[in-house]
Homo-oligomer: A and B are copies of this chain.
Amino acid sequence: MPDPSRRKFLTHVGKATPATMSGAGIISKLSAMLEKSIFIHHVYFWLKDPNSETDRSKLLEGLNLLSKVKTIRKFYIGKPANTNRSVIDRSYALSWLAFFDNPADQDSYQVDPIHLKFVEDYGHLWSKVVVYDSVDV
């Protein structure tokens, strides 16, 4: 999907780059600027049957398949830790934390066939999903 803001950004960097800057210098500068737009997608899943070890394993299998989406830079599949204070929500079954290089990559992940198939094949397992999407301040 075309992203006009990114095109503009790349054009701008191109124009601002001094002729004396090395290729490696440009790449390092670009990486640093792109790092600023990191996108963090954290999802918490509650199972319809919270006591089913089978359903939990199935969802875990699904998340491992989901991790194959190409725009995912890094991912972590978690379960609640043993910590237990009043502010901690440890009622979920599994958490899915995925890092993207930028918001556009997360947009494309949402409509990626692998993601659509994940929802189709495993969506019957969960009763609730809460998503927190965040970007650098």
Q: Which residues of A contact B (CB under 8 A)?
A: 38-40, 42, 44, 60, 76-83, 85, 87-90, 92, 94-95, 97, 103, 106, 129-137
Residues of chain B within 8 A (CB-CB) of A89 are 130-132
Q: Which of B79, B88, B95 contacts A131 (CB 8 A)?
A: B88
Number of copies: 2
B40 touches A78 (CB 8 A): yes
Residues of chain B within 8 A (CB-CB) of A97 are 40, 42, 134
Can you pick out 26 interface pairs between chain A and chain B where the beta carbons lie within 8 Å of each other? A39-B81, A40-B76, A40-B95, A40-B97, A42-B42, A42-B97, A42-B132, A60-B137, A77-B136, A78-B134, A78-B137, A79-B135, A80-B133, A80-B134, A81-B103, A81-B106, A81-B133, A81-B134, A82-B103, A85-B131, A87-B129, A87-B131, A88-B131, A88-B133, A89-B130, A90-B133
